[in-house]
Chains A and B, each alone.
Chain A
Amino acid sequence: MLELWGVLSLTSLGVMVIFLFSKIKSSFAESVKYAGYMNAVLLSILLMSDESEMLFLKWEWVKLGGYSLMISFRFDLYTCCFFVVGLYVTWNILMFSFYYMSTDPRIDLFCKYLGLFLIAMLLLVSAESLFQLLIGWEGVGIMSYLLISWWYARSDANTAALQAIFYNRVGDIGLLIMLMWSLVTLGDWSFTGLYALDFVNTFFLLGVVLAAAGKSAQLGLHPWLPAAMEGPTPVSSLLHSSTMVVAGVFLLIRFSPIILNHKEIQLMVFFLGTMTTLFSAICALAQNDMKKVVAFSTASQLGLMVTVVAGAGAPQLAFLHICMHAFFKAMLFMCSGGFIHGLQNEQDVRKMGGLHSAAPITSVCFFIGSAALMGVPFLAGFFSKDPIIEIININNLNSWAVGLVLIATSFTAAYSVRLLYFSVGGVSRMLVLQPMNEEYGNLIGPLQRLAYSSVIAGVVFIYFLSPNQISCLSLPLSLKLAAVFVTLVGGLIAWDVVNLLHREESVTNIPELAFEAQVGFYPLIMHKLIPKVWLNMGEMYQMQVMDRGWTELALPQGLGGNYKIMADNVVNAQTSLIKMYIAVMVMMGGLILGIMICL
């Protein structure tokens, strides 16, 4: 039964590939929807079956000497859940993109790109062999590039897409290290082989960490994620919130049994995640672009996922958070898209306001999404975020990380409240005659579906998929309530500060060059200062040493100049005058004759 439905779910993947090429763009969306349903059936069969926990499907692909590459799929709980969530969210985003990109002449190509991205992502999560993972990994990277630079005539979009490619490429080095090491040690690229090893090299795990950091925008490789907001909103909501950026976390989840046996790497991942969470939350407080705030919020939640995978040893909680986060983050992006379209492509929150009366459904969904993000009890985000924070509170690796994560949680509430206040609440600051219209079926339908999911998905997932790794069954009351308390504090303080600003008639007083507003000066240093230093060094080298410098004067001009002078003198003998040639001939002849006579 399981194998039958496994094959059927793969068939649904194939059907999606076929519908990718059809001229009717809604047929692909329908195929995504039905694939989602079919995979939901597979998931339920997997859950109900007692004896089998996962399903392997293998076909031989290419023979390479003694070894043959296999197309191998692995359907375990993570894969099936992700299939269902990913397909559901993608269906909604496709419907949304029919609304958002309806005036775009290349909308068919857009839906094809989204579909190709989805297929690459599903290949990634169902991969049993690291090589297939690489195929999916590179596929999502390429589609991310193509989609971010969708409006390719805009130089900012091209720069952002190139940035995404560069940072992802740095992460791909990590993935290649993994492939190389496993081929050398194991001769094989399969996960089962890697799990069966009893020793794993630090080198391999460093590769895992690098790959995850590159793809999931951890600190150090993070600037591409806010810059990726240059792409259209459906792209932001599919790639850079729900699906692509969790590929790195997914990789960490897959290798979590190995990482948890290795103390140094576990500590490294823990710190990476914690620093990312806090840093992104700080930067999100100071952004004025609505999509950038949501992007930094995504980065912060990714840091949280990475923290809990390694530090607290609960990969199932991280995966649960991936699923919940997909629902409400995609909805947040879609609400932003609705606002932006209605305000004639105005993205700055300082020019929005009072949208609760102009666009009620969208703003309600925005509120629900923000509440789920903050971890308001019993919405979707609560069921994954609260256990995560509890587990981090009682971890025995580091206690400074506890403080950082709690601060980041309070900042989550703070920037959510700020965003809500500036856009949905308050007084309207937009231009007077705005064609703010939200009565589009393709906008309201996906928003409603995702809103319902954001509310009830938490309960559903916990009921059916309760993680069996929750180890904090007994906590002191203060730690148990720490997350809620910190959220409340952050939200209230933000509410107060924002109200104060509003009353003092300056809408924002964040200086342009502050630490937060400039994303910690990281892009300035990495993208401008360091290349400027290197380029200046190169110019100095060229001007003073090599091409225009003393090396050029010494060797080509100097030695060559000497040869040139000598050659000039020699060339003087080579007149084309006949008289000269005769004279030389005669003189030589006479010389030889004289010598012959004397001897």
Chain B
Amino acid sequence: MLIMILIFLIALLGLGLSQTHLLSVLLCLEMMMVSLYLGLGMVSISGLHYPLMIALVLLTFSACEASSGLALLVLISRSHGSDLLKSFNLS
């Protein structure tokens, strides 16, 4: 349970501090989702709860989110010309 928090935090760090390749952001996002799913699953193993069905919902939503993220990747790389994270600006 605690290690999942650690994995979540590492993935968060990877999301925030990545410099190149928008795809790495999406991968870290997936990693965060997976760690949350595993955390939800490990809650039942310690023998206190029955397995939480919300984990399946989370997994579904993570898959949708990944697909929309890939669509965004395509759009962004088309509009900005590259996928270098450092060069994305609001203006």
Contact = CB atoms under 8 A, between A and B. Distances in A.
Contact of B89 (A575, A582, A587): A575
B89 A583 contact: no
B9 interface: yes
A576 B85 contact: no
Contact of A577 (B13, B17, B88): B88
Given A576-B89, A576-B91, A578-B88, A590 B12 contact: yes
Nearest to A585: B16
A579 interface: yes
Most buried by B among A576, A583, A593, A597: A583
Interface residues of B, number: 17
B19 interface: yes
A579 B12 contact: no
Nearest to A575: B89
Given A593-B9, A597-B5, A579 B15 contact: no
A578 B16 contact: no
Interface string A559-599: 00000000000000001111100110111011001100100
A578 B5 contact: no
Interface string B1-45: 000010001001101111100000100000000000000000000
A229 B87 CA distance: 81
B9 A577 contact: no
Contacts of B18: 579
B89 A577 contact: yes
B86 interface: yes
A586 B13 CA distance: 7
Contacts of A590: 9, 12-13, 16
B90 interface: yes
B29 to A, nearest CB: 11
Given A576-B90, A576-B91, A577-B88, A582 B16 contact: yes
B89 A578 contact: yes
B85 A579 contact: yes
Contacts of A593: 9
A590 to B, nearest CB: 5
Contacts of A594: 9
Interface residues of A, number: 15
A586 B19 contact: no
B12 A589 contact: yes
Interface string B67-91: 0000000000000000001111111
A583 to B, nearest CB: 5
B72 to A, nearest CB: 12
B84 to A, nearest CB: 9
A579 B86 CA distance: 6
Nearest to A587: B16
A76 B52 CA distance: 120
Contacts of B13: 586, 590
A578 B84 CA distance: 11
Contacts of B91: 576
Contacts of A579: 18-19, 85-86, 88
A467 B29 CA distance: 119
B60 to A, nearest CB: 24
Contacts of B25: 582
A593 B5 CA distance: 10
B5 to A, nearest CB: 7
A586 B12 contact: yes
Contacts of A578: 85, 88-90
A579 B5 CA distance: 24
Given A590-B9, A593-B9, A582 B90 contact: no
A587 B18 CA distance: 12
A576 B13 CA distance: 21
Contacts of A589: 12
B15 to A, nearest CB: 6
A582 B86 contact: no
A299 B16 CA distance: 94
Interface string A148-171: 000000000000000000000000
A581 to B, nearest CB: 8
A306 B9 CA distance: 104
Contacts of A575: 89
A578 B86 CA distance: 8
| For the complex of A and B, 8 pairs with smallest distance between CB atoms | A586-B16, A576-B90, A578-B88, A576-B89, A579-B85, A583-B16, A576-B91, A577-B89
29 contacts: A575-B89, A576-B89, A576-B90, A576-B91, A577-B86, A577-B87, A577-B90, A578-B85, A578-B88, A578-B89, A578-B90, A579-B19, A579-B88, A582-B15, A582-B16, A582-B25, A585-B16, A586-B12, A586-B13, A586-B15, A586-B16, A586-B17, A587-B16, A590-B12, A590-B13, A590-B16, A593-B9, A594-B9, A597-B5
Interface of A: 575-579, 582-583, 585-587, 589-590, 593-594, 597
Given A590-B9, A593-B9, 20 more contacts: A576-B89, A576-B90, A577-B86, A577-B87, A577-B88, A577-B89, A577-B90, A578-B88, A579-B18, A579-B85, A579-B86, A582-B16, A582-B25, A583-B16, A586-B12, A586-B15, A586-B17, A589-B12, A590-B12, A590-B16
